Amino acid sequence: MKNIYFSVRGTSNFSPPQTYLFNKIVETSKNIFKLFGYEEIILPILEEEAVFVRSVGQATDIIEKQMFKVTRNRPDLDSKMQIVLRPEGTAQVIRYYIENSLYKKSDFYKFCYFGPMFRGEKPQKGRLRQFHHIGAEAIGSYSEFLDAEVIFLSLEILDALGIKQKSLHLNSLGCGLDKEKFKELLKKEILPYKDKLCIDCQRRMEKNPLRIFDCKEENCQSICEKFSSITSQQYLCKTCHSHFKNLVDILKDNFGIQPFVDFRLVRGLDYYTNTIFEINSPFLGSQNALGGGGRYNNLVEELGGPKVGAVGFALGLERIMLLLEKIDILKTIDVFIATTNDTLIKEAVKLLISLRKENISSDIDYCKKSLKGQLRYAEKKNVNFVIILGEEELKENKVILKDMKRSLQEKVNIDNIIPLLKSKLKNV
């Protein structure tokens, strides 16, 4: 017996109908991005580690525990640079923006991107080691209207995919100075409880006390409860306070969105300033975030570019798939051509070629199945129509058209089959 191999833990193999769903999600998103003026970029999966260390933050889970480092069989040929599989897209988009001095060409950009991200998390439902982001970054503006557009855009994509039940959680961390003030106060308040925190939070306390709010350990949560009156909102300077207030008003007045303002919301990446948001689903269990994002007004400068405001988001494609998997709109083809016996395959191929020429997705049987077997196969493929070619009908230049969804059938003149199918397919 030879060894067989298995997928790496936390990775997925997509096969039909999941692949159709995957592509449908990407295509729907692309159409909406286009409507909102976001242009697609395709960036590499390999990236220099420092890009993420300096942006996502040294004291975050992603950097501390989850990076996949890439080594070659010829380390003697590699420079000292550490290469990783990208864990997220924002820092990379900014690296690309700065590397190409895009700020010299235009003061404002809207990018969208799709692709795999890698985080060495403990795999569970909705939490993978290789997953896909649908992301967007708008670079070059501090306007609250842009924050609102980005939030609205992420919700629009989910709406267009049929995900109606979801909640928007919104908070502001304030500017860099506000964040520092907030962190210092938290550190001071939590210090007496340091020994009761988990090992991770003890370390976080020094570098990034905000992350303690996000810890799932019971002890850490109950310590956080003691500080429920301390929120980032209290430390917002006048400008950041009015940015947040304006944003909430714009969301309500212009976009008809009523956010849940959640003063305890923090995010797992350090680059955020001001607006942060998450979109949750009630149907996803513990990994309930469908997406998240926010503003990162200091990141471009921190990575060596000019001081410009930016905001973006990413949706988790696999989590969207988990919600949509039950939808039965998935099908490979519209029409299946069945024959009453396999000697009619030449006639079937002739018709198949003309259907495909007319852009009607169609297929035939290549396995000499009985008529019953062919119909069963067509049903499994979820096709809308089956054309049955029978010797008797062909003598009259006719075929049988079976409407699989309505369980109706009719005899149709073979010359009329294409226009008839075209008009029927418009209504499915």
Q: List strands edge to edge, sheet with 68-70.
A: 46-48, 83-85, 68-70
When the beta carbons of 290 and 386 are compared against ligand HAM, the nearer one is 290
Decide: is 128 part of the binding site for ligand HAM (CB under 6 A): yes
When the beta carbons of 209 and 292 are compared against ligand HAM, the nearer one is 292
Residue nearest to ligand HAM (CB): 316
Decide: is 137 part of the binding site for ligand HAM (CB under 6 A): yes
Decide: is 316 part of the binding site for ligand HAM (CB under 6 A): yes
Decide: is 268 part of the binding site for ligand HAM (CB under 6 A): yes
Least gap, CB of 240 to ligand HAM (angstroms): 17
When the beta carbons of 17 and 135 are compared against ligand HAM, the nearer one is 135
Residues 61-100 that bind ligand HAM (CB under 6 A): 88-90
Least gap, CB of 370 to ligand HAM (angstroms): 44
Least gap, CB of 67 to ligand HAM (angstroms): 13
Choose among 216, 375, 352: nearest CA to 287: 216
Long-range pairs of 34-37 with CB within 8 A, sequence gap ≥ 24: 36/110, 36/149, 36/153, 36/156, 37/110
Least gap, CB of 209 to ligand HAM (angstroms): 19
| H-type alpha helices, 193-270 | 199-207, 218-226, 238-253
Choose among 22, 24, 21, 44: nearest CA to 32: 24
Q: What SS3 state is found at 389?
A: strand
Decide: is 309 part of the binding site for ligand HAM (CB under 6 A): no
Least gap, CB of 316 to ligand HAM (angstroms): 2
Decide: is 259 part of the binding site for ligand HAM (CB under 6 A): no
**For ligand HAM, which residue of 22, 131, 152, 277 counts as binding (CB under 6 A)?**
131
Decide: is 314 part of the binding site for ligand HAM (CB under 6 A): yes
d(CA 43, CA 135): 12
Least gap, CB of 353 to ligand HAM (angstroms): 43
d(CA 316, CA 185): 33
d(CA 342, CA 196): 75
When the beta carbons of 114 and 385 are compared against ligand HAM, the nearer one is 114
When the beta carbons of 17 and 291 are compared against ligand HAM, the nearer one is 291
Is 12:49 a contact under the CB 8 Å cutoff?
no
When the beta carbons of 131 and 385 are compared against ligand HAM, the nearer one is 131
H or E stretch at 320: helix 317-324
When the beta carbons of 178 and 318 are compared against ligand HAM, the nearer one is 318
When the beta carbons of 269 and 351 are compared against ligand HAM, the nearer one is 269
Query: Which amino acid is present at 394?
Result: L
Tokens encoding 315: 């949706």
Residues 97-126 that bind ligand HAM (CB under 6 A): 119, 121, 126
Decide: is 302 part of the binding site for ligand HAM (CB under 6 A): no
**For ligand HAM, which residue of 114, 277, 313, 336 counts as binding (CB under 6 A)?**
313
Is 216:121 a contact under the CB 8 Å cutoff?
no
Decide: is 273 part of the binding site for ligand HAM (CB under 6 A): no
Q: Rounded to 10 degrees, what is the CA torsion of 94, 179, 291, 28?
A: -40
- For 221, other C-beta atoms within 10 Å of its C-beta total 13
Least gap, CB of 184 to ligand HAM (angstroms): 25
Is 293:311 a contact under the CB 8 Å cutoff?
yes
Choose among 293, 292, 282: nearest CA to 323: 282
Least gap, CB of 138 to ligand HAM (angstroms): 9
CA 421, 424, 425, 428 dihedral sign is: negative
When the beta carbons of 56 and 388 are compared against ligand HAM, the nearer one is 56
Q: With CB under 6 A as the rule, give the number of residues binding ligand HAM.
A: 26
Decide: is 387 part of the binding site for ligand HAM (CB under 6 A): no
Query: Which amino acid is present at 407?
Result: S
Residues near ligand HAM (CB under 6 A) are: 88-90, 119, 121, 126-128, 131, 133, 135, 137, 268-269, 289-294, 312-314, 316, 318-319
